[in-house]
A and B are shown apart, each in its own frame.
Chain A
């Protein structure tokens, strides 16, 4: 399985944008990039995913490098509720979604200061 590398921790100020990086230099052409986050005392929750193009949804934006060896999760205005561990994960689309088990790493712990 292709691996991802994320910083252990990051800090942000409330209401400022946050850019969470992820390196995946061994990504294959069929790997989707998924982001999940885990709030304190909760299970992980889906944030966003993409393959090649940048993606936006109500929670965040995902910027994918042209060579796909890295990506950045963008929270446009961090709030205190965004303090969580953010996981960047690769999922092989060759499994058509029926397998492609998500392998979670250690993630990035985001702290948000008021």
Chain B
């Protein structure tokens, strides 16, 4: 079964305490992406990765880092979380082969609260 798995699903932390949200996909897709979702603002892209060792900023990258050391994993790193990073985070992946629909597959989300 095609899956995008995020961990943790829920996390409450404090300002400044580094955390990592992991994302793993079993579809052998090259493209992976992180979004955050906030009330009234919709889904906004944080970072994306076209392939291993290739990452690019999305619309709201400030305060986040990512890495792509292997195809299946794309962790989101908050080096020094702040309350304005309290949000619902989604990881997504898609097939970027020559014949594809561009369909994005999303994880179930990680709800992060920074106190």
Chain A 88-108 near chain B by CB (<8 Å), digits 1 or 0: 000101001111111111110
Cβ of A68 within 8 Å of any chain B Cβ, yes or no, is: no
CA of A32 to CA of B105 in the docked complex: distance in angstroms?
17
Nearest residue, chain A, Cβ from B31: A98
Interfacial chain A residues near B98, Cβ < 8 Å = 96-97
CA of A103 to CA of B107 in the docked complex: distance in angstroms?
17
Q: Are A44 and B106 in contact (CB under 8 A)?
A: yes
Of B4, B102, B108, chain A has the most CB atoms within 10 Å of the CB of: B102
CA of A41 to CA of B92 in the docked complex: distance in angstroms?
16
CA of A110 to CA of B108 in the docked complex: distance in angstroms?
20
CA of A46 to CA of B100 in the docked complex: distance in angstroms?
13
Interfacial chain A residues near B108, Cβ < 8 Å = 42-43
Q: Are B43 and A104 in contact (CB under 8 A)?
A: yes
Give chain A nearest CB distance to B22 CB in angstroms: 15
Chain B 2-43 near chain A by CB (<8 Å), digits 1 or 0: 001000000000000000000000000001010100001111
CB < 8 Å neighbour of B100 from A42, A45, A97: A97
CA of A101 to CA of B92 in the docked complex: distance in angstroms?
11
